[in-house]
Amino acid sequence: MKQIALYGKGGIGKSTTSSNLSAALSERGLDILQIGCDPKRDSTRMLMHGRFIPTVMDLVRTQGDTAITLSDVEFPGYNGVRCVEAGGPEPGVGCAGRGIIATFQLLEKFGALKGDVIVYDVLGDVVCGGFAMPMREGYAQEIYLVTSGELMSLYAANNICKAIKRLASRVKSNCRLAGVICNAKGQPKEEELVAEFARQVNSNLIEFIPRDRVVQLAELNRKTVIEYEPASAQAECYRSLAARVMENTRLTIPTPLEIDDLEHLAYSFI
Ligand code: ADP
Ligand code: MG
């Protein structure tokens, strides 16, 4: 079983990319579990045709964890992709990481952490212990960074590299950087910049995903691009990403950049 995580800055396109990746993987006949680990709780929405499924955190809060069954938290989405949302604390109080921990413990109890691929969709603005949980505790072994060529999303990706480097040496964790996904904003020389960033952090660019209006159209129709426009070039990009993820064997310990070097890199691709 492959356990991969997509980390990146908020709003960069993790959930869009994760959902389309899961949909593309399911087309290959694989059993896929997607777990949203972002308090925004919308990771699996397009796989669920627009539905916000109940989050594990909300259910634990309202029912207590002993009363919950697997069918309360895991929902079949597009093409059989199994969907779970960890959820988060009530705004302003509590720790988001706790929701992630509670979710994994519950899923483990149900024997639900199974299948061909588990896709974790994790917020990466803050790499506090909670959000690092999927890699720290050995769940997510292959980490993909989702970034555009914008400095702030590269900055977040670089910070995640620091977390992976720190955790890579821990026996329990064993996580590695598996690659960088460029979810483009459409800036000039963006692919070259992100490919060079990937090289400098000791990894490689796994896929370049262009910015395309079809993503918004699919979203407005409450579907992944794979389902909404299966013959589109954008859908092909997600299928190509799925192929590359399945055949990828290059797992590395990243070499994060100093902030000055990161800024210099971004500057040299203006
Ligand atoms: P995240 O999960 O990282 O917070 P989302 O996946 O929710 O980000 O994406 C944020 C917004 O960006 C969404 O409205 C989505 O439609 C849009 N988006 C993501 N990827 C693309 C793309 N390749 N082309 C066009 N729009 C995109
Ligand atoms: Mg998201």
How far does the centroid of ligand 2 lie from the alpha carbon of residue 100, in Å? 14
**Mean pLDDT throughout 2-23?**
97
Q: Which residues of 177-201 are buried (b: 16+ CB within 10 A; e: fewer)?
A: bbbbbbbbeeeeebbebbbbbbebb
Overall domain count for the chain: 1
Residue nearest to atom 4 of ligand 1 (CA): 11
pTM, two decimals, is 0.97
pLDDT tens profile 234-261: 999 999 999 999 999 999 999 999 999 9
Stated length of the chain? 270
CA of 38 to the centre of ligand 2 (A): 6
Strands 142-147 and 176-183: parallel
Task: For 155-212, write each residue's pLDDT tens digit.
Answer: 999 999 999 999 988 877 789 999 999 999 999 999 999 999 999 999 999 999 999 9
* 66-101 pLDDT, tens digit each: 999 999 999 999 999 999 999 887 777 777 777 788
Distance CA 2, CA 245 (A): 10
Crossing angle of the two packed helices 151-168 and 129-136, in degrees rounded to 10: 50
Residue 216: other Cβ atoms inside 10 A: 11
pLDDT at residue 30 above 70? yes
Residue nearest to atom 23 of ligand 1 (CA): 211
Per the model's pLDDT, the better-predicted residue between 48 and 64 turns out to be 48
Domain encompassing residue 194: 2-268
- Residue 90 sits in a domain whose CATH number is 3.40.50.300
Tell me the sheet residues that pair with 141: none
Among 249, 265, 125, which residue's Cα sits nearest to residue 189? 265
- Whether 209 is in the pocket of ligand 1, judged by its Cβ within 6 Å, is yes
Query: What do you get for the CA distance between the two ends of the chain, in Å?
Result: 41
Question: What's the gap in Å between 172 CA and the centre of ligand 2?
Answer: 27
> Does 16 contact ligand 1 (Cβ within 6 A)?
yes
- Annotated active-site positions, please? 9, 14, 40, 125
